[in-house]
């Protein structure tokens, strides 16, 4: 046999041997993953055995919750399954969705960390502030910020807020004589931005009059004012306006568009009517909570008031939207009814959580 033929045979044999070893290692890895999948699934099934849920696929989970029907399916579960139910995403991944005030009180009274798998996706966008921090760093940041929201600190800003609202209403009075409808979202958005600029950044002008632009790009404040003329008709924020202003504007718009509440009542209330305005705002926050849900990972086992329990390591989703629309907590939950928040109306301490509660 020639040297070249012998070398070719050895090369072919080495390749074949390498492929056999790779195949064996691949099969072993696949077997390990299958065992891990099985054990994790069995652990979750045992942990959730006290909590019934709709039928789900052994691998794909609750496929019926996907797409635009997800919220509708969750609300159906809120009505049919007391307090909580497990939501399966796939074979070895599931959360317990909670929407009962007693359950909420138990979880929010603990110091369980935020679920990293959910919140870490937000880190590149908003950084590690109060929303993402846990434990002692969260308390330190909260302690530093708390004085800034004291009533005595906020009182001087009332005049700035009133000036911004008054300017917006003056513009509406001018437009009211025209035979056309008024798109109020852009006006409310600019009013919100105007208030934030005055209160948070001591801005002397008014973006409702001067418009809004990036002075660094426009070159000067004067040019910015001129450039802002005519830009007022653009819908707010979705270019160059802070996200905070967008959410605040949306809340004001929701409040102002709900039944039984007029713009004039909201912005030009008499002192004896302010409690009703507060009731309307709270009812709007109940219907449209700005924080629809939060996720915690249990650092220790927990037992709920009804005797059901969960082990350490389970991820729990506190569905604030589900809580606020739970018919066992709020009768006729889809109806806008400010009387729910009348001063003499009794309710559970954790039945209304528009901004969550406890350590965030």
Q: Which pLDDT tens digit goes with each residue over 35-67?
A: 988 999 999 999 999 999 999 888 888 887 877
pLDDT for 85: 96
**C-alpha distances in angstroms, 128 versus 114, 115, 122, 131, 152?**
12, 14, 9, 7, 29
pLDDT value for 11: 55
Q: Is 34 exposed, middle or buried (0-12, 13-18, 19+ CB in 10 A)?
A: exposed
Whole-number pLDDT of residue 251: 56
Q: What is the pLDDT of residue 184?
A: 81
pTM higher than 0.75: no
Q: Which pLDDT score, from 0 to 100, does residue 273 have?
A: 59
30-44, 65-79, 123-137, 328-342: segment of lowest average pLDDT: 123-137
Residue-wise burial string across 36-65, b where 16 or more C-beta atoms lie within 10 A, e elsewhere: eeeeebeebeebbeebebbebeeeebbeeb
| Alpha carbon 209 to its chain's center | 32
The band of 2, judged by pLDDT with boundaries at 50, 70 and 90, is low
The arithmetic mean of pLDDT across residues 259-274, rounded, is: 46
Percentage of residues in the chain with pLDDT exceeding 70? Answer: 75
7 confidence band (pLDDT: 50, 70, 90): low
Task: Give me the pLDDT at residue 8, please.
Answer: 61
pLDDT at 232: 42
pLDDT exceeds 70 at position 257: no
Q: Enumerate the domain spans of the chain.
A: 3-129+291-341, 146-287
- Statement: residue 274 has pLDDT above 80: no
According to the model, what pLDDT value does residue 205 have?
Answer: 82
pLDDT digits (tens, 9 = 90+) for 166-201: 898 888 888 887 777 778 888 888 888 888 888 888
Q: How far apart are CA 252 and CA 258, in angstroms?
A: 10
* Average pLDDT, rounded, for the chain: 78
Which of the four pLDDT bands, split at 50, 70 and 90, describes residue 100?
Answer: very high
Burial 241-270 (b: 16+ CB within 10 A, else e): beeebbebbbbbbebbebeebebeeebeee
Is residue 244 over pLDDT 50? no
């Amino acid at each position: 046999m020639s040297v070249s033929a012998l070398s070719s045979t050895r090369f072919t044999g080495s390749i074949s041997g390498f492929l056999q070893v790779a195949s064996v290692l691949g099969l072993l890895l696949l077997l390990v993953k299958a065992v891990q999948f099985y054990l994790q699934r069995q652990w979750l099934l045992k942990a959730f055995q006290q909590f019934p849920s709709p039928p789900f696929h052994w691998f794909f989970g609750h496929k019926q919750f996907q797409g635009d029907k997800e919220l509708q399916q969750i609300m159906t579960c809120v009505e049919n399954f007391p307090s909580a139910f497990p939501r399966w995403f796939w074979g070895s991944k599931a959360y317990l969705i909670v929407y009962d005030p007693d359950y909420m009180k138990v979880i929010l009274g603990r110091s369980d960390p935020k679920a990293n798998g959910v919140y870490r996706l937000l880190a590149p966008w908003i950084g590690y502030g109060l929303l993402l921090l846990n434990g002692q760093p969260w308390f330190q940041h909260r302690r530093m910020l708390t004085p800034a929201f004291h009533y005595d600190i906020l009182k001087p800003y009332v005049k700035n807020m009133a000036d911004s609202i008054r300017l917006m209403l003056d513009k509406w009075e001018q437009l009211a004589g025209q035979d056309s409808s008024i798109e109020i979202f852009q006006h409310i958005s600019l009013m919100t931005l105007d208030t934030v600029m005055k209160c948070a950044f001591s801005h002397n002008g008014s973006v409702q009059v001067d418009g809004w632009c990036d002075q660094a790009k426009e070159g000067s404040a004067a040019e910015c004012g001129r450039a802002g003329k005519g830009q007022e008709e653009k819908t707010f924020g979705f270019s160059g306006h802070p996200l905070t202003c967008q959410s605040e504007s949306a809340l004001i718009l929701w409040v102002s568009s709900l039944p039984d509440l007029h713009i004039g009542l909201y912005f030009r209330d008499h002192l004896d009517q302010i409690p009703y305005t507060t009731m309307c705002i709270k009812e709007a926050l109940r219907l449209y909570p700005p924080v629809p849900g939060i996720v915690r990972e249990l650092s220790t086992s927990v037992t709920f008031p009804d005797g059901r329990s969960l082990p350490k390591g389970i991820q729990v989703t506190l569905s604030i939207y589900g809580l606020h629309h739970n018919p066992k907590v709020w009768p006729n939950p889809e109806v806008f009814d400010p009387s729910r928040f009348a001063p003499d109306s009794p309710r559970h301490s954790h039945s209304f959580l528009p901004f969550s509660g406890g350590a965030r």
